[in-house]
A and B are shown apart, each in its own frame.
Chain A
Amino acid sequence: MATRITDVHGHPSCRLHFWWMLCAVFVHLEETCSSLEFVWNSSGFGLFFNHEQIRTMSRVKRRTTHPPYWHVLKNNQRDDEKISSDNLCFVREVIQDKYKNKSPIKGSDLDIEKTVWDPKTKRSGVIARNIGVQHMWEKDGKKVICTVLHVLDNHVVRYVPPEEYAKSVIGTKMFKNRKPLGCLVVGAEAANPDRFTRQYCSLFDEVGLLPKKRLARFIVTPNAALPPCTPLTAGHFVIGQAVDVYGKTIDYGFQGVVKRWGFKGGPASHGATKFHRRGGTIGTGRDKARVWPGQKMPGHMGSERRFNRGLKIVRINMKYNIIYVKGTVPGPTNSIVQIFDTILPRRRFTEAPPHPTYFPPEDGTLPQEDIWDSSLHVFGSPSISV
């Protein structure tokens, strides 16, 4: 045993040294007595060494800069500078003619089947923008951080029934061993058709919607299906319910090991030579004689799809379509997120929510503009005396 095992700081690692000797003994024994039975674990000598086996999907590509191949080209690639001002005016007139006379859609206009809600129903979700964080106080004076989510102008683009969806690329993967569910394609944030390609605009032409900047799919049970052009608003949710918010986390770029994995690095002073924020050892040297897959190293951090589950809705503003959610959501301010009813078993719905979605009352009575959860202190009410 000529090699000296040292740990990161250069001190001789006595513990490792002992185990090395033990291993050397075993190896010798095996060579001499082949009938020696020794139970090898799956990682060979890994059990004896203080090395955590990484079982993450570190080889799966987590980020792409391009959309899936079955998507149509979205943004207009044409160079519009050569168009004359007259032609530009004409184009604008055409767009106006095409999309004018769009009155707001009432619940009675759409033919929605009267379906019954049951606890296994999966309702549609909603696309929203995370517009910031606001502090609110509970009735006992405790401060809570609430994320403000602005529900954009969502409209259902189309509904794909379960049989059809199970044949799609994503559907085959998702419903391999389970009963297939339907898919609602919802769009948010209407924009000028000028900026999009013809193929992208054609997705909305069938239903007569202005093309939307953002599209999302929500997996729904057939009894929660919605016809195209149905608007989804903040009233889709109920005060006090738990939601899951899905978004792309903040993009930190290429980050070192201290920020990315929480390594301690090295000492700032006391003679440390060029070792302050580095990772140190990446392997044991003997066992497997290679670096294990999933070894934590510097790399791209952030910009990953994540869910924050079980966030409670504490306040809804119906006038501005705003939802206040207790806690924080993935992603930076002004980023787009998707909100779903929670899948956490203990926080699911026990009573029927607005099913399949919420529609303002037909008789013109305005709903309550600002709805607060009972646990929260309303700002206009008197100060709290504990």
Chain B
Amino acid sequence: MLRRAVLQTFRQGLAQSFFKRNAVSLSETTVTHQTVETSDEGGEKFVSTQKTGDESGNTVIVAPPEFRFMYPEFLPDPAMETRNRLKEKLERMDMLQRRSVIEIPEFYTGSVMAVTVSDANSPNKFARFVGICIQRGGSGLRAWFILRNVVEKQGVEILYEMYCPLIQKIEVLRLERRLDESLLYLRDALPEYSTFPLDMEPERRLNNLVVPINPLKVKLRPRPWLERWERQNLQGVEDLNLPQRFYDKAEKVAKPWEKYDLMLHYRKTIPAEEQEKIFAEVQSQLQQQELKRKMRRRRGSDNEQ
């Protein structure tokens, strides 16, 4: 009974809080909820914990559903042949250790970020790169993301491994999402869509609760392209204006039945029950780290004053 109720809240929470930071608890008839909010006058983000009641009366901590989007690298690779619970647990411990040293902020594809890396060949020994995140992937300590920018009319993409100890600092200059999960089409787009000033300042957002979705539609350069964008169902590109035969071939080659293939999607994702367990394990430590950072920042701003 509890499991079903908890799962229902989890899934409904997923649907509702897809863009919202604050998970609004939905009341169920049998289970009572308590939201514990840590608010902050600096207008910084806060994370809520849902505590659901157990049958015996003990509280069971359930991490908010948006953890799945904020920290996707904590979820392991779904391929069953190579999964081992003990190894995943140890990897998560190592990831939390690394996160205690450096702040790896929440970001999505489409956010503009700046990464400072220790580089022996640089004049200052540190290399800073600013770019838009066009793709992110990997799980565990292998998690990576690609930043793209156009520097002196040359497109540059750099793949960073999130947990590499050479990384000194990761800043999110503009936190937003785009209409697609992968922005690889920026390679074929006009260069202005990938250009960001290297000395860009971090932008403060008006509404801290919601991660905005930028509904920008990007204009592509004339063909030839690196990929067949007409076959990929992209939302963030302007009308491609191709001859009809391209769209006909795309229809011929398309696999419309895949959206009904439940097993395919099941195999590609970690089940909700497991996700709950994983994030519950990891949540308290992440919250502690958040609090420590806030304290440090507050102390730092107090010292300045």
Contacts and interface: CB of A to CB of B under 8 A. Distances in A.
Contact of B166 (A131, A148, A322, A384): A384
A3 interface: no
Interface string B88-131: 00110011011011100000000000000011100001100000
Contact of A320 (B86, B98, B161, B167): B86
A148 B90 contact: yes
A383 B115 CA distance: 13
Q: Which are the 4 A-B pairs with shortest beta-carbon distances?
A: A379-B97, A131-B84, A132-B87, A131-B87
B120 A143 contact: no
B285 interface: no
A323 to B, nearest CB: 12
A75 interface: no
21 contacts: A131-B84, A134-B91, A135-B141, A148-B87, A148-B90, A150-B86, A320-B86, A320-B90, A322-B90, A333-B83, A334-B82, A378-B97, A379-B98, A379-B165, A380-B97, A382-B101, A383-B165, A383-B168, A385-B118, A385-B168, A386-B119
A32 B82 CA distance: 69
Contacts of B248: none
Interface residues of A, number: 26
- Of the listed residues B91, B97, B165, the one surrounded by the most CB atoms of chain A closer than 10 A to its CB is B165
B118 A383 contact: yes
A131 B89 CA distance: 12
Interface string A135-160: 11100010100001010000000000
Contact of A332 (B81, B101, B141, B142): B81
A141 B84 contact: no
Contacts of B140: 134
A381 interface: yes
Contacts of B119: 386
Interface string B132-151: 00000000111000000000
Interface string B70-87: 000000000001111011
Contact of B101 (A143, A317, A383): A383
Given A379-B98, A379-B163, 10 more contacts: A131-B86, A134-B141, A317-B90, A377-B165, A379-B101, A380-B101, A383-B165, A384-B166, A386-B118, A386-B120
B93 to A, nearest CB: 9
B229 to A, nearest CB: 27
A333 B82 contact: yes
Interface in A247-292: none
- Of the listed residues B82, B100, B126, the one surrounded by the most CB atoms of chain A closer than 10 A to its CB is B82
A385 B102 contact: no
A212 to B, nearest CB: 19
Nearest to A332: B81
A45 to B, nearest CB: 50
Contacts of B98: 379-380
Nearest to B120: A386
Interface string B153-167: 000000001011111
Contacts, number: 75
Interface in A315-332: 317, 320, 322, 332
A12 B83 CA distance: 53
Contacts of B163: 379
A132 B84 contact: yes
Interface in A90-149: 131-132, 134-137, 141, 143, 148
Contacts of A333: 81-84
B91 A137 contact: no
Contacts of B161: 143
A381 B101 contact: yes
Contacts of B94: 134, 379
Contacts of B83: 333
B100 A143 contact: no
Given A320-B90, A383-B102, A386-B119, A137 B97 contact: no
Contacts of A383: 101-102, 118, 165-168
Nearest to B77: A132
A385 B125 CA distance: 8
B164 A143 contact: yes
B118 A141 contact: yes
